[in-house]
Amino acid sequence: MTASRREVLIASVMATATAGLSAAAVASTQHPTAPSTGARKVNLITSKDGTQIYYKDWGRGPVVTFSHGWPLNADAWDGQMQFLVQQGFRVIAHDRRGHGRSEQASSNNDMNGYADDLAAVIETLDLKNITMVGHSTGGGEVVRYIGRHGTKRVSKVVLIAAVPPIMLKTPANPEGLPLEVFDGLRKAVFNDRSQFYKDLALQFYGANRPGARVSQGTLDQFWLWSMQAGLKNAYDCIKAFSETDFSEDLKKIDVPALVLHGEDDQIVPVHDSARKSAKLIKNAQEIYYPGAPHGVTATHQDQVNADLLAFLRG
pLDDT tens-place values along the chain, 314 residues long: 444 444 433 344 333 333 333 333 333 333 333 344 566 567 999 999 999 999 999 999 999 999 999 999 999 999 999 999 999 999 999 999 999 999 999 999 999 999 999 999 999 999 999 999 999 999 999 999 999 999 999 999 999 999 999 999 999 999 999 999 999 999 999 999 999 999 999 999 999 999 999 999 999 999 999 999 999 999 999 999 999 999 999 999 999 999 999 999 999 999 999 999 999 999 999 999 999 999 999 999 999 999 999 999 99
**Which pTM was predicted?**
0.87
pLDDT given for residue 42 in this prediction: 79
Q: Give the amino acid at 183.
A: D
pLDDT given for residue 19 in this prediction: 38
- Residue 300, CA distances (Å) to 75, 159, 199, 306 in order: 17, 15, 21, 10
pLDDT given for residue 39 in this prediction: 63
pLDDT given for residue 6 in this prediction: 40
pLDDT given for residue 22 in this prediction: 38
Ranges of beta strands (E only) in 19-129 are: 40-41, 44-46, 52-58, 63-67, 90-94
Query: How far apart, in whole angstroms, are the C-alpha atoms of residue 148 and residue 71?
Result: 23
pLDDT given for residue 26 in this prediction: 33
Query: How far apart, in whole angstroms, are the C-alpha atoms of residue 144 and residue 141?
Result: 5
Residues with a known catalytic role: 136, 265, 294
pLDDT given for residue 280 in this prediction: 98
pLDDT given for residue 41 in this prediction: 67
| Parallel/antiparallel/unpaired status of strands 90-94 and 154-160 | unpaired
pLDDT given for residue 13 in this prediction: 34
